[in-house]
Chains A and B, each alone.
Chain A
Amino acid sequence: MNKRPFAITLDVGSSRANHTGSWRVERPVYVERLPPCNDACPAGENIQGWLYEAESGDYAAAWHALVQENPFPAIMGRICFHPCETACNRVKVDEAVGINAVERFLGDYGLAHRLSLPPAGPPSGHRVLVVGAGPAGLSATYHLRRMGHEVRLVDSAAQLGGMMRYGIPAYRLPRDVLDAEIARVIAMGVDVQLNHNVEDIARERDEGGFDAVFLAVGAQLGKRVDIPAGDSAKILDAVSFLHRVAEDDAPMLGRRVVVYGGGDTALDAARTARRLGATEAVIVYRRTQEQMPAHGEELEQALGEGVTMRWLSTINQVDNDTIMIEKMRLNDEGFPESTGEFEQLGADAVVLALGQETDLSLLETDGRVRVRDGVVQVEPDLMTSVRGVFAGGDAVPANRTATVAVGHGKKAARGIDAYVRGVALESRAKHELATFEHLNTWYYSDAERTQRPELEKVRRQDNFEEVVLGLTERNALFEARRCMSCGNCFECDNCFGVCPDNAVMKLGANAKYEIDYDFCKGCGICAHECPCGAITMVPELI
């Protein structure tokens, strides 16, 4: 018999015999929620995923994570209007994470270190015709090649890139960056045919023996309006203007250039005119600054370069070296209406930036592809009313941005893949959105956003040097670490640390945690103190 102290009859036992988990009425469960940046990204990037890699300084891993969805990080980091930053939860703490700046840093890192895109997939035996080598067509090409489909990429222009080359000026997107990122996609093995105008889509498909077609012809035609004009008045549209500048064939505009319109293209045209030597670049827009569809940052840069604005004005008459504008006012519904007040402005040329239309003449002989309001009608998988013919980018109803087009390219590639393999496109269930209310922001260090430097204004006047500059590595790392990882565990150890019952087990790096339900009393501290909202409390069923 064991010798025990006086009056002690039982050996000491561990309290682990007492399974306090039986007290529980709610259980903590680890969840993954959809970060708002990812939700907002038109290209479907896993932004939080690549920021997570960048946070540890592994930029190559971050780059590889990024290009899973979008093969153009250096381009996107320059021209994307980053709806991710608008959606970012950090806006409610201090300022949005500079996602776009980090993306550009990673894109430039990838180019500098010659990182390669994932290889083409094993040949599937299917052939796809992609019409249009803009962001939608190139993105579709990239994803189709990864799926192993053979791609013929045709474009009517002399070079690849579509509106990224012929619409976006070089001071926003330097051509060496554009060329390098496109070349990476083409290097996956793509049959490219430039200067090739597709006149009849059905014939082109049948003659080439293609299993599917992706129409990504963009919106290349500048809209015209009827303005009374004198014979010698110089009027041109912004799309052709920018196109000719991109081809080194800039038209002579004169000293005083008036741009008519309020979109990003109007700003691009005015800023380009300044660089070509116009001493006055005036944008005439019939509504107010608040109603302007152009993005705020671009407007700010344009104003900084000496572009001037005439809000609430329309052009009524264009003559040789003057124009007549009429002042407008907003009526009660917020629409502009005439005031009858006129003003004469000096103008050597007028550039119309009133929107773009899609040239769909290639569909006319077939006639079965359904078109409404000048754009191609598509199903959610981007298939048109003709089986095997898909469409995306500016040619379908959507926001006309390069990022949306890149997203369409990916989506169409998925739709085409399912179609040629004869399977149904599997829909991916989305996680619940990680809203700000899910976060406990106490735990995030106070850190204001790092601003990207800009080229000095005086150095922007007569050249197409890039205006917005990149972040240094240290600043990019800092910016990446401002990410709050909304809705997804980033292994901060809070749940493991704050449990009063040691009922959270830490499984080691990247393996995260597990709840020990034998001892978890369901107090909920772990869920409450989780910074990123990756734990939810679920009622216990009896």
Chain B
Amino acid sequence: MTKRPIHFYQVGSFAVGNRLLSDGDRTVQSDAARTNSIDSGHRACQGCGEALGARYALDAAMRATRNRVVAVNATGCLEVFSTPYPETSWHIPWLHSLFGNAPAVATGVAAALRVKGRDDVRVISQAGDGGTVDIGFGTLSGMFERNDDVLFICYDNEGYMNTGVQRSAATPPAARTATTEVVGPQPGNTFGQGKDLPRIAMAHDVAYVATATVADLHDLEAKVERAMSFRGARYLHILVPCPLGWGSASNETIHVARLAKETGLFPVFEAEYGVVTSVSKIRRLTPVQEYLMLQRRFAHLFGKNPRPDIVTHLQEMANRNIERYGLLEDEVARPRHARTEVQV
């Protein structure tokens, strides 16, 4: 008789909350008194992954810091839909400056707090992928290099979405955008380009780098909390599907994010001082086409003139991630009908 300790609460570690869990084991989002850092009435599209990701991350940061957070926001969807003058959705101190300088402004806020002796107030800088990997890249690299006490969060929806879906350096290969049209022998975005910012951040040897998706709330909140336990520059990269730019159904935002991870296309891991310390294993390995077929930006790979060669190429990218980060569980032989001693 094998002994297999299981702490089992029906949906314990996957759902947002659970009546059977003790308060301490529940997510911040399951708390009726959560901050709601970004409030109702914002003008994000139906099913916006970024609005969701921002609330997840900032509410968790608020709990981790006992409500001592200042957020500096780059220009982008998140800023545009949350603060059309004179309205704001923010329930936290929040600054907006320019598209490219959010890391530098955050550096300044952190410096000012240091001068004032306020080490209890923590600084978060946030941007979309355009503001991070393209336009804000120089100031972000500088912030990393100086090791300023800022957590930088990139909400990655893989393109410039509120300006009409243009390509960024985070847009995946083969994806259709307004600037990577479906024309020519290699339709959509070009293979072999773009930047892998989590790895670039790791190359700066900053204290903490992590990736997450809106599909795994427990993991995302744990990473924000972990990030807030460090001083110095930190980087969190959250995949936030965009129904508008990706052409996915508004109700499938979380499902799509989950498949990005379960296919291996978006590796979820964390690293400290340049070394990967943990990875989220794939629970139900899924072929990339299941992920791609949910999104109109990849529609040209299927249908009347399918491009299995391109799908294969994308699958190879996923396989490479799986190998690089060790995303698969070790195969453990487990008899299906084993009698188990369980620990509840």
List the B side residues contacting A19 at CB < 8 Å.
Answer: 41
Contact: B17 with A474, CB < 8 Å? no
List the A side residues contacting B163 at CB < 8 Å.
Answer: none
Contact: A55 with B10, CB < 8 Å? yes
**Also in contact, A481 and B10, with CB within 8 A (given A474-B343, A475-B342, A497-B217):** yes
Contact: A451 with B251, CB < 8 Å? no
The distance in angstroms between the C-alpha atoms of A475 and B42, with both chains bound, is 47
The distance in angstroms between the C-alpha atoms of A496 and B32, with both chains bound, is 9
Contact with A along B244-263 (1 / 0, CB 8 A): 00000111111100100000
Contact: A12 with B88, CB < 8 Å? yes
Contact: A525 with B17, CB < 8 Å? no
Quick one: which of A479-526 are within 8 Å of B by CB? 481-485, 490-494, 496-503, 506, 508-509, 516, 518-519, 521-525
- Which B residue's beta carbon lies closest to that of A492? B15
List the A side residues contacting B26 at CB < 8 Å.
Answer: 493
Q: Which of A10, A12, A525 has the most CB of B within 10 A?
A: A525
- Which A residue's beta carbon lies closest to that of B83? A15
Of A14, A518, A519, A525, the residue contacting B88 (CB under 8 A) is A14
The distance in angstroms between the C-alpha atoms of A396 and B72, with both chains bound, is 76
The distance in angstroms between the C-alpha atoms of A227 and B254, with both chains bound, is 69
List the B side residues contacting A257 at CB < 8 Å.
Answer: none
Contact with A along B24-50 (1 / 0, CB 8 A): 001101101000100111111011110
Contact: B10 with A525, CB < 8 Å? no
How far, in Å, is A354 (CB) from chain B's closest CB? 35
The distance in angstroms between the C-alpha atoms of A491 and B89, with both chains bound, is 27
List the B side residues contacting A16 at CB < 8 Å.
Answer: 39-41
A531 within 8 A of B: yes
Quick one: which of A5-53 are within 8 Å of B by CB? 10-20, 23
A298 within 8 A of B: no
- Which B residue's beta carbon lies closest to that of A499? B52
Of A56, A451, A522, the residue contacting B337 (CB under 8 A) is A451
List the A side residues contacting B66 at CB < 8 Å.
Answer: none
**Also in contact, A474 and B14, with CB within 8 A (given A15-B89, A20-B43, A522-B46):** no
List the B side residues contacting A525 at CB < 8 Å.
Answer: 47, 52, 250-251, 253-254
The distance in angstroms between the C-alpha atoms of A447 and B5, with both chains bound, is 11
The distance in angstroms between the C-alpha atoms of A16 and B44, with both chains bound, is 13
Of B6, B19, B29, B258, the residue contacting A56 (CB under 8 A) is B19
The distance in angstroms between the C-alpha atoms of A477 and B7, with both chains bound, is 11
The distance in angstroms between the C-alpha atoms of A369 and B11, with both chains bound, is 54
B16 within 8 A of A: yes
Interface size in chain A (residues, C-beta < 8 A): 61
B51 within 8 A of A: yes
How far, in Å, is B3 (CB) from chain A's closest CB? 12
Contact: B342 with A492, CB < 8 Å? no
Q: Which of B15, B19, B44 has the most CB of A within 10 A?
A: B15
Of A18, A442, A477, A498, the residue contacting B52 (CB under 8 A) is A498
The distance in angstroms between the C-alpha atoms of A11 and B9, with both chains bound, is 48
Contact: B17 with A18, CB < 8 Å? no
Of B16, B49, B340, the residue contacting A492 (CB under 8 A) is B16
**Also in contact, A23 and B86, with CB within 8 A (given A444-B10, A497-B17):** no
Range for the number of chain B residues in contact with chain A: 35 or more
A478 within 8 A of B: yes
Contact with A along B42-73 (1 / 0, CB 8 A): 11101111011001000000000000000000
**Also in contact, A18 and B41, with CB within 8 A (given A481-B10, A531-B15):** yes
The distance in angstroms between the C-alpha atoms of A445 and B344, with both chains bound, is 13
Q: Which of B6, B13, B258 has the most CB of A within 10 A?
A: B6
Quick one: which of A177-233 are within 8 Å of B by CB? none
How far, in Å, is B128 (CB) from chain A's closest CB? 15
The distance in angstroms between the C-alpha atoms of A262 and B125, with both chains bound, is 74
A528 within 8 A of B: yes
Of A453, A483, A492, the residue contacting B18 (CB under 8 A) is A492
B82 within 8 A of A: yes
User: DSSP majority for the A interface?
Assistant: loop
List the A side residues contacting B14 at CB < 8 Å.
Answer: 442-445
Give the tally of cross-chain contacts (CB within 8 A). 182
Q: Which of A19, A453, A492, A524 has the most CB of B within 10 A?
A: A492
List the B side residues contacting A23 at CB < 8 Å.
Answer: 46
How far, in Å, is A217 (CB) from chain B's closest CB? 42
List the B side residues contacting A456 at CB < 8 Å.
Answer: none
Of A12, A56, A450, the residue contacting B86 (CB under 8 A) is A12
How far, in Å, is A108 (CB) from chain B's closest CB? 18
B12 within 8 A of A: yes
List the B side residues contacting A481 at CB < 8 Å.
Answer: 8-10, 20, 344
Contact: A524 with B41, CB < 8 Å? no
List the A side residues contacting B18 at CB < 8 Å.
Answer: 491-493
Contact: A524 with B250, CB < 8 Å? yes
The distance in angstroms between the C-alpha atoms of A481 and B11, with both chains bound, is 9
Contact: B88 with A478, CB < 8 Å? no
Contact: A55 with B20, CB < 8 Å? yes
- Which B residue's beta carbon lies closest to that of A482? B10
The distance in angstroms between the C-alpha atoms of A519 and B206, with both chains bound, is 40
A462 within 8 A of B: no
**Also in contact, A527 and B251, with CB within 8 A (given A13-B87, A450-B339):** yes
The distance in angstroms between the C-alpha atoms of A364 and B330, with both chains bound, is 73
List the A side residues contacting B116 at CB < 8 Å.
Answer: none
List the A side residues contacting B324 at CB < 8 Å.
Answer: none
List the A side residues contacting B337 at CB < 8 Å.
Answer: 448, 451
The distance in angstroms between the C-alpha atoms of A23 and B46, with both chains bound, is 9
The distance in angstroms between the C-alpha atoms of A442 and B254, with both chains bound, is 11
Q: Which of B27, B338, B344 has the most CB of A within 10 A?
A: B344
How far, in Å, is A439 (CB) from chain B's closest CB? 12
Contact with A along B87-117 (1 / 0, CB 8 A): 1110000000000000000000000000000
A321 within 8 A of B: no
Contact: A500 with B44, CB < 8 Å? yes
- Which A residue's beta carbon lies closest to that of B36? A502
A529 within 8 A of B: yes
List the A side residues contacting B43 at CB < 8 Å.
Answer: 15, 18, 20
How far, in Å, is B11 (CB) from chain A's closest CB? 5
Contact: B46 with A447, CB < 8 Å? no
**Also in contact, A523 and B87, with CB within 8 A (given A475-B342, A500-B48, A501-B51):** no
- Which A residue's beta carbon lies closest to that of B4? A448
- Which B residue's beta carbon lies closest to that of A479? B342
Contact: B344 with A451, CB < 8 Å? no
Q: Which of A14, A475, A497 has the most CB of B within 10 A?
A: A497
For the complex with contacts A443-B11, A497-B29, A500-B44, 19 further pairs of A-B residues with Cβ separation under 8 Å are A13-B87, A15-B40, A15-B87, A55-B10, A444-B11, A445-B11, A450-B340, A474-B343, A475-B342, A477-B344, A478-B344, A490-B10, A497-B16, A497-B27, A502-B36, A502-B40, A521-B47, A522-B46, A523-B46
Subset of 14 A-B contacts with CB under 8 Å: A13-B88, A17-B87, A444-B11, A444-B14, A445-B12, A483-B10, A493-B17, A494-B17, A500-B51, A500-B52, A500-B253, A518-B40, A521-B46, A523-B253
A→B interface (CB under 8 Å): 10-20, 23, 55-56, 442-445, 447-448, 450-451, 453, 474-475, 477-478, 481-485, 490-494, 496-503, 506, 508-509, 516, 518-519, 521-525, 527-529, 531, 537
6 tightest CB-CB pairs across the interface, nearest first? A493-B17, A497-B16, A524-B251, A15-B41, A523-B47, A523-B46
